[in-house]
Amino acid sequence: MAAVRPDLEEVFRSAYPRVVGVAARVLGSRDEAEDVAQEVFLTFGRSAVPAGEAIGWLSVAAAHTALNHLRSGRRRMSREEAARDGGAVTPDIADAVVILDERRRVRAALARLPRRQAMALVLRHSGLTYAEVAAALDLSPGSVGTTVRRAESALREELNRHAPSD
């Protein structure tokens, strides 16, 4: 059994909110995001990633892991089944259905984007700076904005391509 990194607790305390935030942006569920964070920190604990590079590494790992969960659809299916079986009562069920459908469409479109674009979009919209996104994805800082804009455009195209017909 490998020894626990001596810096794990410090990194965990400082980076946990960001890791959960990145995963939650992809998954739309804090519970699932916390599961992803646990998986990411377990992997980090076994890694030799320097503590100074931890936040970027953890953010990318959170986005990758969350996208993998999203693409697999397993968790989404179980969440939908659970909601069907014991769904919460909402004040306006029509609004709730529309919101859930829109979120589902956006997440499905995000999952269809090229990995680098999806990662750049998620990381940037999770609050990482251009420099942090650049470091995390091994991009030049000057190309982050272009990558994010292309990802936003590709996401719009995906949403239009799979728009529900009336």
Regarding pTM above 0.75, the answer is no
Q: Name the CATH code of domain 91-165 (choices 3.30.450.40, 2.40.10.330, 3.40.50.300, 1.10.10.10).
A: 1.10.10.10
CATH code for residues 1-89: 1.10.1740
Radius of gyration of the chain (CA): 17
Cα 58 to Cα 8: distance, rounded to the nearest angstrom: 12
Per-residue pLDDT averaged across 152-157, rounded? 94
Read off φ and ψ for residue 7, nearest 5 degrees: -95, 5
Burial class (CB in 10 A: 0-12, 13-18, 19+), 8: middle
Q: How many other CB atoms are found less than 10 A from the CB of residue 22? A: 30
Higher pLDDT, 47 or 94: 47
pLDDT digits (tens, 9 = 90+) for 80-123: 666 666 655 555 677 777 788 888 888 889 999 999 999 999 99
> DSSP letter at 52?
G
Q: Do domains 1-89 and 91-165 have the same CATH topology?
A: no
User: Residue 51: which pLDDT band, with cuts at 50, 70 and 90?
Assistant: confident
Taking the CA of residue 12 as centre, how many other CA atoms within 13 Å lie in the half-sphere pointing to its CB? 16
Residue 1 has pLDDT above 60, yes or no: no
| Domain locations in the chain as residue ranges | 1-89, 91-165
- Supply the pLDDT for residue 28: 83
pLDDT score of 81: 67
